[in-house]
Amino acid sequence: MDARTQAWLDQEDARIAAVIRQWGWAITYVGGEECSRPGCDHPPGEDPPFAYTTGLFGLGHPELLVFGLSPHDAAGLLNGLGDRIREGEALLPGMEITAGEWPHKVIPEQVPNPGEIVFEANRFYQRPSEASVPVLQLTYDDGQGRFPWDEGYADPDSQPRPGRFAA
């Protein structure tokens, strides 16, 4: 690894640790218009953007992952559900939940390949990808009550099905 990349990773590790100490978890947003890591060669817009938590595993809960949302909406959803988890609620695969003022229903789904997605969470917990922290993908409806597996779902490419995406 080159010195520039190592310096960036060291700073990112320190930032993540500080955010988790202050708030209980951090949110990593990947994709969209820009890539912040050095040497990024992934073209914008090729895959849907995604966001995930780092820190909920330390509270005894799987990390959370969501696809296809803006940074603002992803942070609102992940922080709102993170607060509920911190208060003792457990999100379970298959349960239909609402998230505060957010107008969509959400169903958590087990991610079978988290080590291929949540690199920052695994780095924080010093876990190799084959022993990844567990992750739940938050799959949301299209506002009409349809989920990606339902016929007529508005944008099926915005939320890859669990196990069919790798970062």
pLDDT digit string, tens, across residues 87-106: 999 999 999 999 888 899 99
* Domain annotation covers residue 76: yes
* Domain annotation covers residue 165: no
What pLDDT is stored for residue 53 in this prediction? 98
DSSP 132: P
* Domain annotation covers residue 163: no
1/89: higher pLDDT = 89
- Is residue 150 classed as helix, strand or coil in its secondary structure? coil
Which structural domain, as residue segments, surrounds residue 132? 3-33+47-158
What pLDDT is stored for residue 33 in this prediction? 61
Question: Does the pLDDT of residue 38 top 80, yes or no?
Answer: no
What pLDDT is stored for residue 41 in this prediction? 43
What pLDDT is stored for residue 1 in this prediction? 82
99-121 average pLDDT score: 95
Q: Which residue has the tokens 């809960």?
A: 61
Q: Quick one: pLDDT band at residue 39, thresholds 50, 70, 90?
A: very low
What pLDDT is stored for residue 143 in this prediction? 87
Give the contacts of 18 (CB within 8 A, at least 6 positions apart): none
* Domain annotation covers residue 38: no
61 CB burial (10 A radius; 0-12, 13-18, 19+): buried
* Domain annotation covers residue 166: no
* Domain annotation covers residue 135: yes
Distance CA 158, CA 50 (A): 10
> Half-sphere exposure of 148 toward its Cβ, with a 13 Å CA cutoff?
18
In the chain, how many domains are there? 1
Question: Does the pLDDT of residue 120 top 70, yes or no?
Answer: yes
* Domain annotation covers residue 150: yes
For the chain, how big is the Rg over CA atoms in Å? 16
Reported as a single tens digit per residue, the pLDDT across 40-82 is 444 555 788 999 999 999 999 999 999 999 999 999 999 999 9
* Domain annotation covers residue 74: yes
